[in-house]
Amino acid sequence: MAAGAPRIFVSHLAGVPVFDPNGDQVGRVSDLVAMLRVGRRPPRLLGMVVEIHLSRRRIFLPMTRVTGVESGQVITTGVVNMRRFEQRPTERLVLGELLDRRVKLVGHDGQAEEVTVLDVAIQQLPARRDWEIDKVFVRRGKAGALRRKGETLTVEWSAVTGFSLEEHGQGAESLLATFERLRPADLANVLHHLSPKRRAEVAAALDDDRLADVLEELPEDDQIEILGKLKEERAADVLEAMDPDDAADLLSELPEEDKERLLTLMQPDDAADVRRLMAYEERTAGGLMTTEPIVLRADATVADALARVRQQDLSPALAAQVYVCRPPDETPTGKYLGTVHFQRLLRDPPFTLVGSLVDSDLPPLAPDTPLPAVTSYLAAYNMVAAPVVDESGSLLGAVTVDDVLDHLLPEDWRETRRARLLPEYDPEAFGRLSERIARFLGTGRFLVWMTLTIIVWVLWNIFAPTSLRFDEYPFIFLTLALSLQASYAAPLILLAQNRQDDRDRVNLEQDRKQNERSIADTEYLTREVAALRMGLGEVATRDWIRSELQDLLKEMEERRDGHRDLFPQGADHRSDVPDR
């Protein structure tokens, strides 16, 4: 590893924003994707799973598209593939599948002990853009022990065994600690994208109330899968913690044998409510209603009603009104008298009896009212909940607007609810327009035009005929227009400054990395050129061969001249030879 390369623990990257080179937020880091290697070689980090801003789409961001990784932000090259992320068999989610795993730590003496993985660290390789997981933060101690017990230490990846392509038993404490502040709907989205085995492990680590809230936000397939992997006693407890209407919807999807077995294990009162709901048609008021609205007697006071409304486990839709009935107070109640809205409770003294505040003109729904009629009822009376009363006048329950929406929206609405329910816009186009407006506000042209407009406005409303004046003294419309312009000018200028700061920061980071790469490339080329020169010094070049041949030719010519001096031309060197 490079000495100066920063090491980052992946738990610090969960949920951090991802920015493009212009400083606009692309999304947030949901997880990291790694590929395990043979033996004890550190895994290679392939990329990040990013949840796109303003939508629930999860995309894959390769590490080659990442120019900067810090604990507070991730910077990309700006080129993002919007295809939905699909995990491959050889890939592992770091947060979802590596944390909380029980592995073995091999000591210097060769002895192995079981430890729990709390976190892993990533670092960029030198002279390349590849990232690897090189450190593991573990805790000694038995599985299931309290998180604060046991020694913690950071070790090399090679010192740990038990990471393999097979899935072993894995806890969920670290993952739940990372997402402990998520709302049930957001945690349900995280569970939905985990593997089935990991999803079951996380569900087993949740308490009954938290798991019940999460199950209500999951698609039916995931609900059935998680419920089927729980022990029957635990499954019954979770069903008791769920809203009766949601529990009835879930049980109606199970086989008859499993349904009856779970209903038998539930508390009799809770099971009776669920059975009663399951007796109605699914897309009727009886099938949609909950059997746990706020029911009060006529002699209860406003203070009693507000105390019931303040209960933390009540949904906002159920807390918007109370239903006044004669005993018994549990559904099905005695005769239904009427509804008291939350706003009416706030307007009257605490000692006022709720029986004197009922809205008796609001007609109740029958249990066989179809879904379209229920929707029209809520829209016509601007209600978030409606009472359901049988033929005898007893209150059976209440239909809330969220239950109606669950049946009106498409089945995959949880996958794309933000994209469908929130307006979409192009952040980059909006940012460019805001910058242009902010720059225009700071020019002399704007001051000239604003001054001329004010002068014309004032003169027209003073000297023009009375019938043509639209803003006479004290020029209220002009004052409002200038106030509106001033109130928008400051945020626009601040937005432009923030975008410029983001661009400067990104450019500075890119320049720094470019300089580092240039220095590294220069050093590499210098070493290569030096080595090349040394190698060329031992190779015969054309000039060297020419000089050697010239020296050889010169030497041969000198020898020839010397030979002529010893044997002059015309002399017979054979004259001394005697005749035979």
DSSP string, 401-423: HHHHHHHHS-TTHHHHHHHHHS-
Query: At CA 45, angle to CA 43 and CA 46, rounded to 5?
Result: 125
Helical H runs in 444-541? 444-463, 476-536
Structure tokens at 51: 């949840």
3-state secondary structure of 290: strand
DSSP one-letter string for 15-76: T-EEE-TTS-EEEEEEEEEEE--STTPPPEEEEEEEEETTS--EEEEEGGGEEEE-SS-EEE
What number of H helices and E strands is found in the chain?
19, 18
The pLDDT of residue 538 is: 61
Would you say 84 and 56 are in contact if contact means Cβ atoms under 8 Å apart? no
Would you say 287 and 281 are in contact if contact means Cβ atoms under 8 Å apart? yes
Query: At CA 146, angle to CA 140 and CA 150, rounded to 5?
Result: 25
CB count within 10 Å of CB 224 equals: 16
Contacts of 332 (CB under 8 A, 6+ apart): 390, 394, 395, 396
C-alpha separations of 115 from 92, 150, 451 in Å? 20, 9, 73
3-state secondary structure of 296: strand
DSSP structural state of residue 85: P
Structure tokens at 73: 């932000």
Dihedral, CA of residue 13, residue 182, residue 20 and residue 489, to nearest 10: -130
Would you say 205 and 171 are in contact if contact means Cβ atoms under 8 Å apart? yes
Nearest to 7 by CA among 49, 64, 70: 70
Nearest to 275 by CA among 286, 284, 285: 286
Is residue 284 left, alpha or beta, with left meaning phi > 0 and alpha meaning psi from -120 to 50? beta
**What is the C-alpha separation between 46 and 437, in angstroms, rounded?**
41
The pLDDT of residue 168 is: 47
**What is the C-alpha separation between 214 and 212, in angstroms, rounded?**
5
Would you say 201 and 174 are in contact if contact means Cβ atoms under 8 Å apart? no
Say how many CA atoms lie within 13 Å of 292 toward its Cβ: 19
Structure tokens at 470: 């639209």
CB count within 10 Å of CB 507 equals: 13
The pLDDT of residue 164 is: 61
Residue given tokens 């690897």 in the structure block? 132
**What is the C-alpha separation between 255 and 174, in angstroms, rounded?**
35
Positions in the chain whose pLDDT score sits under 50: 1-3, 145-146, 165-168, 417-422, 575, 577, 580
The residue ranges of DSSP E strands in 203-270, in sequence order, are none
